[in-house]
Structure 1
């Protein structure tokens, strides 16, 4: 039995491109044994790899696979994602149990992996009722930064990830990579409107890459809505998700990315056109401030996060988000997506560029 959360004929067609439920059942039966109850559902959140929820007898499973189409061959490396998660089993990093990985395209038309489903809440638009008190709000922030510290403290050689990336020059390559992504998007989007401020940001980032950063395992997309808090009243992260961008490199790129999504009461309002990507409920006075999160991170890791370099790391984070937005906008203009968020990037990317400029100019301090 299968079920897709998307309404209409197009949703059914897309679901069938994602999974042949009968072929998947054959694979799972061969690997996990026969069951009487079987159901597949598509998870609707996210804009990258596809997530399927599978009921297999009394087990609740999650399958991660690339989106169908050409991009599945060149990006969205789910087996890399599985590799890092599998290597981290048994460490202090909270993760779902990894169960299977498959590189046989005959099963689903792509690589995929299977993990156990974890129960809890992802905080995308606000807190669940059980967390609507001052102690819980404080713990949400503390758990978030403590878990990031655990990732950065992993002995990546001891868990077999010594060849997972190339730390020297990592931060400089980040600037170069995202500048290339933006330039690619501009080839089409400048016919609609230009964002000249991003060229100024690009130049500033290139000239201000920090030196002598530590080298650690890096998650690559660490933020509040990429972790899951367990069902208890006391907030505890039970799973870190979306490891597809993970590598070895500069841990402060992770910290800056997390901080760019964490709003303080003193900040201006988030860009309106990117409201699906940026929420500010953590401006409530009970939540830790960014400065408090950084101090806790330093205590946990022993690393010193230079406050002047913070301008670079948070600017880089917003620049990367602008790059993502501009690529979304190009795909919308070319007719390659019906995601309702993509056309909002016409105004959203200029707003993000203005925010990056404010951080550079010291108008959005840590």
Structure 2
């Protein structure tokens, strides 16, 4: 349901009202309306609805004069250096769209932080389905459940098949040293964001650094590739219309995406973690993480022997990322978060336990 009346906390009518708040709002209607006017998007009053299950960046559906667009921005400042870069995220999608990757069309980018306090961009609205805790009726039959799982892994295979050695794709990053940089970067993020002592973080960081695998290939790495970041067609058969949320994308080791997908994928009988955001795959008919990996290996030919290392990396990074969200919630920077932020008090240690399980470190230290 779209809204037309500001709540005075997350959404305010004017920049003057925003300046009087202790915590900056996420939407300032007069600023957004002016930006839409400047780009010829819609006319008249603005309606909005927060959408998506993302816990980091913020996404709104905007409706105005019969036109619908999607606005994506970072969380409330201050933001850690090099994170929540909406300008870069928009640029990545523009480049990938030129190479046939299913992404939303980027309509406009605002680098002026004076409007909302952070940069943001507008993208096209896609008429599709995001799968979370309910299986859409058109994808509910057993054959469509399997087809859904196959579409998830096949879309990843296609993404990883792009030639990243030349052209604009080559400008997205340097794949050399990607895995070591990931370990070092997230270790540093823990030091910045943590407010409690969880020895398993350093224990796992040391294990990851000592056991770095040799990358077998270089590809576009999405960085948050999961079922909930895919938009499916609104009618059968199962087909991916768009890959969403490109904040973490770069060039690197493709098995990082496969490790993340399989480590966060919900499976019947597996202990739940905060990163299992699409729980329907616990139901019969969907491929298991092992079957996803086997299909990926069959089409790419990559050796998946080191996959547990990549799964460990994925959940260790997720724990650090979630600890940053927990810290923001504790500081009152997520005033409407009554569920996810509080749950991370126990959720982050659960992620670390699962990471240790993949690493074969059953005796990972507890706080």
TM range (shorter): 0.7 to 0.9
Structure 1 residue 116: Cα displacement: 0.7
What is the match of residue 241 of structure 2? 238
Tell me the distance in 2 between the aligned counterparts of 1:212 and 1:34.
47
Which segments of 5 or more consecutive residues in structure 2 lack a partner in the other structure? 19-24, 363-367
What is the match of residue 328 of structure 1? 325
Change (3 A) 1:356 1:72: closer
Structure 1 residue 4: Cα displacement: 6.9
Q: Is the 8 A contact 1:87 1:159 kept in 2?
A: no
What is the match of residue 196 of structure 2? 189
Change (3 A) 1:18 1:176: same
Tell me the distance in 1 between the aligned counterparts of 2:110 and 2:294.
42
Structure 1 residue 133: Cα displacement: 1.3
**Residue deviations 1:156-182 (CA, integer Å, cap 9, x gap):** 355513121121110011111222222
Change (3 A) 1:136 1:90: same
How many residues align? The count is: 350
What is the match of residue 150 of structure 2? 142
In the alignment, structure 1 residue 64 sits paired with structure 2 residue 72: yes
What secondary structure, in the 3-state scheme, does the structure 2 residue paired with 1:51 have?
strand
Which segments of 5 or more consecutive residues in structure 1 lack a partner in the other structure? none
- RMSD over equivalenced CA pairs, Å: 2.7
Change (3 A) 1:72 1:204: closer
Question: Which of 301, 305, 310 is equivalent to 2:307?
Answer: 310
Structure 1 residue 219: Cα displacement: 0.7
Q: How does 1:30-109 map to 2 (within 5 A)?
A: 30-32=38-40, 35-36=43-44, 38-43=46-51, 45-71=53-79, 75-109=83-117
What secondary structure, in the 3-state scheme, does the structure 1 residue paired with 2:97 have?
coil
Structure 1 residue 14: Cα displacement: 10
> What TM-score do you get using the length of structure 2 for normalisation?
0.85
In the alignment, structure 1 residue 218 sits paired with structure 2 residue 221: yes
Change (3 A) 1:198 1:18: closer
What secondary structure, in the 3-state scheme, does the structure 2 residue paired with 1:160 have?
helix
Q: How does 1:1-366 map to 2 (within 5 A)?
A: 3=3, 9-13=8-12, 17-32=25-40, 35-36=43-44, 38-43=46-51, 45-71=53-79, 75-157=83-165, 160-186=168-194, 188-190=195-197, 195-265=198-268, 267-271=269-273, 274=274, 277-300=276-299, 302-307=300-305, 309-338=306-335, 339-340=337-338, 341-361=340-360
What is the match of residue 365 of structure 2? none
Tell me the distance in 2 between the aligned counterparts of 1:135 and 1:362.
38
